[in-house]
Structure 1
Amino acid sequence: MQAAPVTPLRTSTTRPAAWPSVSGALRAVESVLMRSGQRTARRNAWASVLEDRRRAQDRVETQAVLEAAATPGSRTS
């Protein structure tokens, strides 16, 4: 004797939506909790931090060049 074929309980072909990523969920929560002005301020602050880091790196590189130029016998021409 053969078993009857098993049919799925749900015959719909739609799949449940995938779970959002953690970063996507955090962005969604942020958008609900923060107004657009606060989001803009946060983005501007981060852009300012990145620009400050770039300028600091430029200062370090410039200082190294100036010290190398001030060292006697540093010219190789």
Structure 2
Amino acid sequence: MQAAPVNDVMPHSTRATPIPSFTDALRAVESLLMSSGQRTARRNAWTSVLEDRRRAKDRVEAERVLRQTPTAHP
């Protein structure tokens, strides 16, 4: 059995997936930004719902207090 010659070099491995195009990269970035934007929109919508509920509760409480308060007639 002979040893492998010193001049033989193992070939470099090649990429299994192609390098994405500039357009593909932009689409990926856009997708990431849009998903973040959607999360922000949902969070803002939920905050708005909670604020509406708080205002409704305050309104009901104010109406209750006003009904219990005697009115002064001049």
- What's the TM-score, normalizing by structure 1? 0.52
What letter matches 1:53 in structure 2?
R
Query: For 1:17-64, what per-residue CA distance to the aligned partner results, in whole angstroms no more than 9, with x for missing partners?
Result: xxxxxxxxxxxx8xx611111000000011100001001000010000
Greater gyration radius: 2
Gaps of at least 5 residues in structure 2 are 1-14, 63-74
Secondary structure of the corresponding residue to residue 61 of structure 2: coil
**Could you say what the CA RMSD is over the residues aligned between the two structures, in angstroms?**
1.8
Moved over 2 A (4+): none
Q: Which residue of 24, 31, 34 corresponds with 2:20?
A: 34
* Alignment partner, residue 47 of structure 1: 33
Correspondence 1:61 to 2:47 = yes
Gaps of at least 5 residues in structure 1 are 1-28
Correspondence 1:73 to 2:69 = no
What letter matches 1:73 in structure 2?
E
For residues 50 and 61 of structure 1, what CA distance do their matches in structure 2 show?
A: 16
Q: Percent identity?
A: 5
Q: Which has the higher contact order (CA 8 A, sep 6+)?
A: 1
